[in-house]
A and B are shown apart, each in its own frame.
Chain A
Amino acid sequence: MSRARKVLDWLDERAGIYALWDQAANEPVPGGARLRYVFGSVLVYLFMQQVVLGIVLASYYSPSATDAWASVAHLQDQVTAGWFLRGLHGHGASAMVVVLVLHLVQVVWAGAYRKPRELNWWTGLAMGGLVFAFALTGYLLPWDQKGYWATQVATGILGSVPGGEPLRILLQGGHEYGNLTITRFFALHVFVLPGLLLLLLVAHIGLFRRHGVTPPAHLSESELARADRFIPHQIFYDVLAMAVTAGILVAWTIRSHGAELFAPAQPASNFPARPEWYFLFLFQLLKYFEGPLVLVGTVVIPGAATAFLVALPFLDRAQSRRPKERMPVLAGMGALLAGVVALGVAAKVEDAGDEAFQKALAEARAEAERARALAAGGVLPEGGEAVFRNDPQYEARRIYAERCAGCHGRFMEGGDDAPALVDFGSRAWLARLVRNPRAPEFFGKTEHDTMDPYSPEDLPDDQLAAVVEYIVSTMGDEIAPPADPALAAKGKKLWEDELECNSCHEIEAGAEGDGPNLYGHGTVAWIAGLIANPKDPRYFGEEAQMPAFGEKLDEAEIQALARLVAAQRASGAKAGASAGQHD
C-alpha cells in the first residue's frame, strides 16, 4: 500500500472522502456529455480565477483616495507581470459577462428555468446581478479618471430614483466621492459580493446536482437512458471550454497590454466618461429620456426587463420544454437580447462618429501616459494628482509664480512694467515685434525704446518674413515647423546687404552689439542666458531693467524656467509641448 493511499484511507475513515469523490466524479449525465453544458463550469472557473487574481491585486493595492491610483500604477508598471494580472482580472470580468449570457441563452433554450428548476433560475439570475455589481464596484477602485467619472454616473442614477438619495449617500459614504467611497466600494468588492456569490453558488450547484442537467427536449427515452459519468466525459468538455476561454483571455490581455489605466481622478476636471462595454446599453438608454421621463430609462425599462426574467418560469405556460412550444418566451428573450445589443452598438457607433469625444479620449490617453511615466519616480504622499508635481515643469511654474509673475504676470500676459511672454520667440511674435516694438506686449511698458517700429512701407511683408525666417533659422531644431532654408537665405542677404538691423543687432554667436544678439533668439539656451544675466552685453547690457537671476537661482532652475518660457510658443516648439496654455 502506497503512502499516499494510507493517507487517503486515514482521511476516508474520518471524513468519508471516497464517498464524496464517488458522488462528485460519477454523477450521471443523462443523454450523454454535451458541450452545451459547459457554460456553468466555465463561469465557476472564471470566478475562481477572479478570486485568486483579486487576492494578488489586493496585495499590491491601497484603498484610499490618495494612494489608490499610485498603487495601481505601481502594480501596472513596476511589479513583475502586474499589468498582465490586472488585465486578466479586468478582462476576466468581461469574459464572465459573455459566458453569463451564453449560459443564460442555453438555459432558456433548454427550458431549464421551468419546474422544478425555478430556484436554479433565480439563484442564477441573482448571481448574474452580482457579476454586474462586481464590475461596477471594481471599476472605481483604480481611482483613475475613467473609473471615477463613469461611477459618478451610476451613483447619480441611484440618487435620482425616488428614495435613492439616502442610499447613494450611504453607498458612497457621504455627499461627495472621497476616502469613504473607495473603502466602501473596496469592502463590497472584496468581501460582501464574493461572500454573497459564494453562498448563491453553493445553492445553485446544490440545486443543479439535485435536478441534474436539462438534456435537449427532443431526446427519446432510450437516448436519455444512455448516460455518461461526469468524470471523465463531461469534465473533459468542461475543461476544454475553460482552456479555450483561458486562451482567448490571455491573448486578449496581451494584445491590449492589460486593462487601461487613465490619469488619477481629478474631481475638478471633465472627462468623457463611458462605462465598461457591457453597461453601454444602459448608458445609451439614458440618452433617450428627458425631464420626468428620465426614470423610464433608469428604472422602468431595466426594471421591466428584470421582472420579465424573474417571472419567466410563470410566464412559460407551454406543455413541454420543446422550443417550438415556447415561442412567445423565446421571442421575448430574443427581443430583450437584441435590444441590449442594439443599444450597445448604437452607443459605440455614436462615440465612433463623435469627433469631440474622440479628441477628448485621445487627450485623456496622452495625459494617462504622462501621469504613468511620472509615477515611476514615486508619487508624493498627497497622492493622485500630486504625481504631476514630478514634472520638471511643475517646479518651473512654482519658481515662475514666486520670482517672475510679479512683473510678467501670473499667466505670462505681461505686467505693469514688463513684457508678456506668451508665444515668445515665434515667427508671428518676431514679426509683430518688428512692426511695433513699443506695443504693451513687447517693450511698451519698459524703458527700452531705442528700436523704432518698421511699417510695411519701410519693410514690405515679404522682406519681414524673410528676415524673421533668418532669425528663426538660428534656432536649430527648437523651432517648429523647421526653418525654410531658401527664405532664410533671402533673409540673410537682406540682413547683411540692405536692412539696417545689423547696425544694432549682431547675429553671430557670442558677438556683442547695442541691441541683443539674435543668434538663437527664443531657444532655451538664449532665454536661460537672459534670465541669468540680462545685463550681459549679448543681451540688453547696462540698460537692462530686469534683475539678473544667475545669483538667485541655480542652473537647473534657470534651465527649467527657460524651457517653460520656450514652451509658451504657440507654434509648438519642441521644448515642453505639454505645457498648459493660458489666455
Chain B
Amino acid sequence: MPAPAYQPGRTGRFRVTFAAVEPSLETPMPHDRDDAPPAPEVPDAAGGPSAASGDVPRRRFLLGATGLLGAGVAAAAGVPIVGAAVYPLDHEVTSGGGDFIPAGPSGAFGDDPVRVDLHADRRDAWNRFEDVRVGSAWVLRLEGRLVAFSTVCPHLGCAIDYDPKARRFVCPCHNSVFELDGTVVEGPSPRPMDRLDVRQEEKLVQIRYQRFKQGVKEKVPL
C-alpha cells in the first residue's frame, strides 16, 4: 500500500513522539526538559521544530488509526474469548439427581438414622455416567414420619457423621453438632442440616437429592 498521507522521514522531535503515551502535548514530561538528552540520533533531513509541529495532526491520525485497528484485532478474538470464559455462568455444566431416587424399602428406616447412597445418571460437561452415586442422605423416622437429611454439612460441605452413642449428627471437619431433627446444637454451621424431599410409593422410599449453597443462613438450592 502506498502511503500518500505522509512523507517518510518527516518525524518530529522526541517530545512530540512521546504523545503516544500522554496525549496532552502541553504538559511536559518531568524528564522531557530542554536539557534532557536528545532522542536517539536519527538523521533527520526534514526534521526540525517547524516540521515537527506540522506533523502533529498526521501523527495523531496515525496513532488514532493504529489504536482503532489494534482494538479491532484484539476484539476479534477477545470478545468470543469472554463468551467462552463465562460459559459456566449461565449453563448447567453438571447435572443429575434432580429427580426422586429410590432409597430403599420403607421398612428399612426407623428411629435411628440410616445412611443411604443415592444413585442416578449424571452429566459432567462432556461425560455422562450411568447410575453413579450422586450423593448420600441420612434417613430416619421422626415422630413416625420419614425424614431425610443431606449428608453435606451446610457449613463448608464436609460429610456429616452420626454418633450413635450421643444420638446426634456430628460434622468431623469443624465440629458442628446437630440434633436428630437437624437443628444445630453447637459449632459453626449457619443453619440446620438440609432436609431433602421424601416420598413413598407403595413401600419404596424415594428421595430427591439436591445440593444447597454452603455457608449461608438460608437454604438455597444450587
Contact = CB atoms under 8 A, between A and B. Distances in A.
Whether chain B is bound by chain A comes out as yes
Interface of A: 5, 8-9, 12, 18, 21-23, 25-28, 31-33, 35, 45, 49, 52-53, 56, 59-60, 62, 67, 70-71, 73-75, 78-82, 84-85, 88, 222, 225-229, 231-233, 235-237, 239-240, 242-243, 246-247, 249-250, 375, 377-381
Contacts of B62: 232-233, 236
A228 B59 CA distance: 11
A413 B11 CA distance: 86
Interface in B1-60: 1, 3, 6, 8-9, 11, 14, 17-18, 20-22, 27, 29-31, 39-40, 42-46, 59
Nearest to A245: B73
Interface SS, A side: helix
Kindly list the 8 A-B residue pairs having the minimum CB-CB distance in the complex, ordered from nearest: A32-B8, A378-B128, A226-B9, A81-B80, A74-B126, A232-B62, A70-B126, A225-B43
Contacts of B76: 246-247, 249-250
Nearest to A28: B42
A8 B86 CA distance: 33
B208 interface: no
12 contacts: A5-B22, A23-B40, A28-B40, A56-B81, A59-B85, A70-B127, A73-B126, A81-B81, A84-B80, A226-B43, A232-B66, A240-B69
Contact of A226 (B29, B44, B69, B87): B44
Contacts of B43: 225-227
B127 A380 contact: yes
A523 to B, nearest CB: 32
Interface residues of B, number: 50
Given A239-B70, A246-B73, A85 B84 contact: yes
B80 A227 contact: no
Contact of B46 (A52, A70, A226): A226
B142 interface: no
A229 B77 CA distance: 29
A231 B8 contact: no
Residue from A26, A74, A222 whose CB has the most chain B CB atoms within 10 Å: A26
B40 A26 contact: yes
Contacts of B21: 8, 21, 25
Residue from A23, A78, A80 whose CB has the most chain B CB atoms within 10 Å: A80
Residue from B11, B83, B126 whose CB has the most chain A CB atoms within 10 Å: B126
B105 interface: no
A243 B85 CA distance: 24
Interface of B: 1, 3, 6, 8-9, 11, 14, 17-18, 20-22, 27, 29-31, 39-40, 42-46, 59, 62-63, 65-66, 69-70, 72-73, 76-77, 80-81, 83-87, 91, 123-130
A492 to B, nearest CB: 50
A53 B9 contact: no
Contacts of A379: 126-128
Contacts of A84: 80
B20 A25 contact: yes
A247 B1 CA distance: 17
A74 B126 CA distance: 5
B52 to A, nearest CB: 11
Contacts of B30: 9
A73 B1 CA distance: 42
Contacts of B63: 231-232, 236
Nearest to A66: B127
B84 A227 contact: no
A52 B77 contact: yes
Contacts of A33: 3, 8
Nearest to B95: A378
B1 A81 contact: no
A229 B126 CA distance: 52
A91 to B, nearest CB: 12
Residue from A25, A31, A62, A237 whose CB has the most chain B CB atoms within 10 Å: A25
Given A243-B73, A246-B72, A227 B11 contact: yes
A229 B20 CA distance: 12
Contacts of A28: 40, 42
B69 to A, nearest CB: 4
Contacts of A75: 84
A18 B17 CA distance: 12
Contact of B80 (A85, A236, A240): A85
A416 B51 CA distance: 102
A22 B87 CA distance: 41
B14 A26 contact: yes
B39 A236 contact: no
B129 A381 contact: yes
Contacts of A236: 62-63, 65-66
B69 A239 contact: yes
A235 B17 CA distance: 13
B17 A26 contact: yes
Contact of B66 (A31, A227, A239): A239
Nearest to A375: B126
A37 to B, nearest CB: 12
A259 B80 CA distance: 16
Given A18-B31, A79-B84, A226-B8, A49 B127 contact: no
A79 to B, nearest CB: 5
A225 B8 CA distance: 10
B3 A60 contact: no
A222 B72 CA distance: 37
A22 B127 contact: no
Nearest to B20: A231
A52 B81 contact: yes
Nearest to B125: A74
